[in-house]
């Protein structure tokens, strides 16, 4: 009887373990990897291309990423849980900037490895600020020189790597082009070499620990920033008001079959009435296009039909209001 109890307990434990097949792989590695750097060096693009799927939003505007986002890369050798962070910057003009910096710095707690991303041809004061933050830790840091494909003289990357290596004791230095998927296989090998041997934390089919509600709000914000970023750079945020899944069914009125669908209602908050007009656009054309583009990305990411409804409202001073930031998820 006692042996039967032990066997049952073992079976139950194995059943609830994340992807048991990985546990049998000798030397499998797992760990958290923070992706840090100043704004607009391609941190989110790097994570998206490492994952092979768009998860973190991108735009040409600095500080597009406002939250810590976990992306999960699993293969036969490792599970790397990437922590995409807001860009660390000096000018904490408003409360939201201060919270973004705190979110980025706090990502350095309890990670196994740091990817410090820099631009191949631009070294700025904010890069030094990030390096100073890393110097206060005992973490292994891999320098990722992004946009290496833009260097006119490819040979110049070697002295650039030596210059960086003289400034900090990096565990490795890897030049890449995140946008063009260049040298990312090498970067994955380097990441795996620095992670501890451990069982996977998440199911290997999972790509993020963020909810669909959060991802939906980020997709909408990205489409607005890409469409009206220069006119409404940071003064907007998105709140999901409703997120309802409807199973496939027969319409009781028409008798016609209806496919499964998710109904999403979202409010876009801006700080001034003039910005509201910009987001809506002439005769509502901009907000209509934002909705179409966002819905398309959501259907691809969530793999289901989406019905999206958008409203635009003015919430004055939200980006410098601590209570408003908390209520909006910052």
Q: Is residue 88 annotated as involved in ligand binding?
A: yes
149 annotated among ligand-binding-site residues:
yes
The answer to whether residues 85 and 125 belong to one domain is yes
End residue of a domain, out of 194, 220, 235: 194
Residues 324 and 190 in one domain: no
Residue 52 annotated as part of some ligand binding site: no
Identify the domain boundary among 143, 162, 194: 194
Residue 235 known to bind ligand = no
Q: How far apart are CA 236 and CA 19, in angstroms?
A: 40
Residues 171 and 113 in one domain: yes
291 within some domain: yes
Instruction: Report which of 137, 117, 136 is spatially closest to residue 126, judged by C-alpha positions.
Output: 117
The predicted structure's pLDDT at residue 8: 53
Q: Is 44 annotated as contributing to ligand binding?
A: yes
Q: How far apart are CA 240 and CA 71, in angstroms?
A: 21
Residue 9 domain-assigned? no
| Residue 166: per-residue pLDDT | 72
259 is in an annotated binding site: no
Task: List the chain pLDDT tens, one digit each, 330 residues.
Answer: 445 544 555 544 444 444 444 444 678 999 999 888 887 788 888 998 999 888 775 555 544 445 567 889 999 999 999 987 764 534 544 444 554 455 555 557 778 999 999 887 777 777 787 888 788 888 899 999 998 887 766 666 677 677 777 778 899 999 899 889 999 999 999 999 999 999 999 998 888 888 889 889 989 988 988 887 666 656 688 899 999 998 888 888 888 888 889 999 999 998 888 889 999 999 999 999 999 999 999 998 888 999 999 999 988 876 665 565 555 555
Q: How many domains does the chain have?
A: 2
40 is in an annotated binding site: yes
Q: Is-contact 279 288, C-beta < 8 A?
A: no
Establish whether 226 is an annotated binding residue.
no
242 carries a ligand binding annotation: no
In this structure, the number of other CB atoms found within 10 A of the CB of residue 202 comes to 17
Tell whether 260 is covered by a domain: yes
Q: What is the pLDDT of residue 196?
A: 94
CA atoms within 13 A on the CB side of 139: 28
Is 147 annotated as ligand-binding? yes
293 domain residue, yes or no: yes
Shared-domain flag, residues 133 and 228: no
Nearest to 178 by CA among 12, 329, 43: 43
Assigned domain for 236 exists? yes
Query: Where in the sequence is the domain holding 226, given as residue range(s)?
Result: 212-328
Q: How many angstroms separate the CA atoms of 283 and 71, rounded? A: 38
Does the annotation place 85 within a ligand binding site? yes
- Determine the distance from the C-alpha atom of residue 161 to the mean position of all C-alpha atoms in its chain, rounded to a whole number: 27
Residue 273 marked as a ligand binder: no
**How high is the pLDDT of residue 168?**
81
Q: Which residues pair with 306 in a beta bridge?
A: 262
Q: Are residues 57 and 171 in the same domain?
A: yes
CATH number at residue 255: 3.30.300.20
Those residues with Cβ within 8 angstroms of residue 193's Cβ, 6 or more apart along the chain or in another chain:
172
User: Was 20 annotated as part of a binding site?
Assistant: no
* Distance in Å from the first CA to the final CA of the chain: 53
In sequence order, which residues have a C-beta less than 8 Å from that of residue 273 and are 6 or more positions away?
314
- Three-state SS for the chain is CHHHHHHHHHHHHHHHCCCHHHHCCCCCEEEEEEEECCCCCCHHHHHHHHHCCCCCCCCCCCCCCCCCEEEEEECCCEEEEEEECCCCCCCCCCHHHHHHHHHHHHCCCCCCEEEEEEECCECCHHHHHHHHHHHCCCCCEEEEEECHHHCCCHHHHHHHHHHHHHHCCCCEEEECECCCCECHHHHHHHHHHHCCECCCCCCCCCCECCCHHHHHHHHHHHHHHHHHCCCCCCCEEEEEEEEEEECCEECCCCCCEECCEEEEEEEEEECCHHHHHHHHCHHHHHHHHHHHHHHHHHHHHHCCEEEEEEEEEECCCHHHCHHHHHHCCC
């Amino acid at each position: 009887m006692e042996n039967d109890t032990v066997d049952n307990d073992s079976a139950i434990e194995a059943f609830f373990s994340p992807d048991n097949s990985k546990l049998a792989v000798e030397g499998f590695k797992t760990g958290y990897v923070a992706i840090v750097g100043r704004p607009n060096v391609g941190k989110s693009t790097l994570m998206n291309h490492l994952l092979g799927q768009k998860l973190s939003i991108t735009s040409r505007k600095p500080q597009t990423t406002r939250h810590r986002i976990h992306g999960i890369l699993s293969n036969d050798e490792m599970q790397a849980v990437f922590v995409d962070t807001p860009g660390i910057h000096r000018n904490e003009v408003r409360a939201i900037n201060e919270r973004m910096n705190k979110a980025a710095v706090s990502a350095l707690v309890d990670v196994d490895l740091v990817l410090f991303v820099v631009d191949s041809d631009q070294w700025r004061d904010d890069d030094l600020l990030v390096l100073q933050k890393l110097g206060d830790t005992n973490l292994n840091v891999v320098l990722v020189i992004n946009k290496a494909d833009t260097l006119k003289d490819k040979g110049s990357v070697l002295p650039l790597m030596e210059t960086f290596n003289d400034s900090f004791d990096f565990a490795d230095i890897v030049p890449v082009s995140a946008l063009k998927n260049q040298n990312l296989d090498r970067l994955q090998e380097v990441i795996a070499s620095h992670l501890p041997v451990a069982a996977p934390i998440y199911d290997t089919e999972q790509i993020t620990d963020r909810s669909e509600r959060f991802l939906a709000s980020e997709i909408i914000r990205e489409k607005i920033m890409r469409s009206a970023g220069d006119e409404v750079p940071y003064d907007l945020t998105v709140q999901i008001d409703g997120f309802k899944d409807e199973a496939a069914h027969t319409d009781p009125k028409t008798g016609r079959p209806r496919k499964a669908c998710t109904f999403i209602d979202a409010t876009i908050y801006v700080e001034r009435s003039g910005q509201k007009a910009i987001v809506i656009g002439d005769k509502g054309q901009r907000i209509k296009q934002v909705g179409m583009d966002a819905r398309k990305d959501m259907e691809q990411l969530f793999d289901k039909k989406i019905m999206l409804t958008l409203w635009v409202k003015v919430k004055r001073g939200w980006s410098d209001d601590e209570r408003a930031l908390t209520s909006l998820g910052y």
